[in-house]
Amino acid sequence: MEDYKNVCNTKSEQSVDKAAKPVKAKHIVREYAESILIAVLLAMVIRTFVVQAFKIPSGSMEDTLLIGDHLLVNKFIYGAKIPLTDTRILKIRDPRQGDVIVFEYPEDPSKDFIKRVVGVPGDVVEVKDKRVFVNGKLYANPHEVHKEQDTIPKEMNPRDFKDPVKVPAESYFVMGDNRDRSYDSRFWGFVTKDKIKGLAFIKYWSWDKEKFRVRLGNIGRLID
């Protein structure tokens, strides 16, 4: 009789163990699912409000930024933008002259552009013989380069000569550092504050496609 009880108890314990395994498996699956969900949500929050990665596709910012440079953009310094609205929160400061900003291209919002702020709201910007004047004073940015020797008359296009324009409120006049090969505010006008995504501040990776090599000297370099 005692042996029979032991056998019954053993079978009962095995049944409990078998029944417990699916419960444990479900618990593990739920833990993994919750961890993945939290990681995804955290990544979305960081990308939306804190920092975002961008890649340089063109030479309009040479030699400050090269094709193949990968950047991190500070998205909260000008105020984090709440998705699906124009509302910004926790702003530290407004864009300043000299800032390198990433923004939605005004003529095609699906594309991101990167340029340097030349004029802020209220400034008067003028281009004369390739030289930029802000409020009547020469704006000589140490990062600007000119790779074309010719001068284009303003009747043809405004690259080298642009009549004075006043920057409206909540807007910015931007230009590429590669002044002769940049499609910027000289051609299509101003960038409004609501289109600005953030301030480019560091290069975290750089790949030279033509020479098939990593630009080690660019990695970790701050953008000024």
Q: DSSP letters along 132-158, please?
A: EEETTEE---TT-B--------TTT-S
Residues 84 and 97 grouped into a single domain: yes
Q: Which two tokens stand for residue 220?
A: 């970790």
Residues 123 and 194 grouped into a single domain: yes
> 173 near 123, Cβ under 8 Å?
yes
Query: Whole-model pTM above 0.75?
Result: yes
Residues 208 and 112 grouped into a single domain: yes
Element (H, E) at 186: helix 185-188
Supply the residues annotated as catalytic: 60, 115
> 78 near 93, Cβ under 8 Å?
yes
Q: What pLDDT is attached to residue 50?
A: 84
- Whole-number Å distance between alpha carbons of 162 and 130: 9
Provide the mean pLDDT of the chain.
88
Residues 214 and 148 grouped into a single domain: yes
**Is the pLDDT at 180 greater than 60, yes or no?**
yes
Residues 23 and 133 grouped into a single domain: no
Residues 39 and 141 grouped into a single domain: no
The domain that holds 90 is classified in CATH as 2.10.109.10
Q: What pLDDT is attached to residue 4?
A: 41
Q: What pLDDT is attached to residue 25?
A: 64
> 74 near 201, Cβ under 8 Å?
yes
**What is the number of structural domains in the chain?**
2
Q: Which of 12-21, 65-74, 122-131 has the lowest mean pLDDT?
A: 12-21
* β-pair partners for 191: 172
127-138 per-position pLDDT tens digit = 999 999 999 999
- Give start and end residues of each alpha helix (H) in 2-146: 2-45
Of the candidates 168, 169, 167, 170, the residue with the CA atom closest to the CA atom of residue 194: 170
Residues 191 and 178 grouped into a single domain: yes
Q: What pLDDT is attached to residue 108?
A: 95
Residues 41 and 114 grouped into a single domain: no
Residues 196 and 86 grouped into a single domain: yes
Residues 174 and 101 grouped into a single domain: yes
Q: Which residue range is the domain that position 154 belongs to?
A: 56-218
Is residue 223 domain-resident? Answer: no
Q: What is the mean predicted confidence (pLDDT) over 71-84?
A: 89
Is residue 224 domain-resident? Answer: no
Is residue 207 domain-resident? Answer: yes
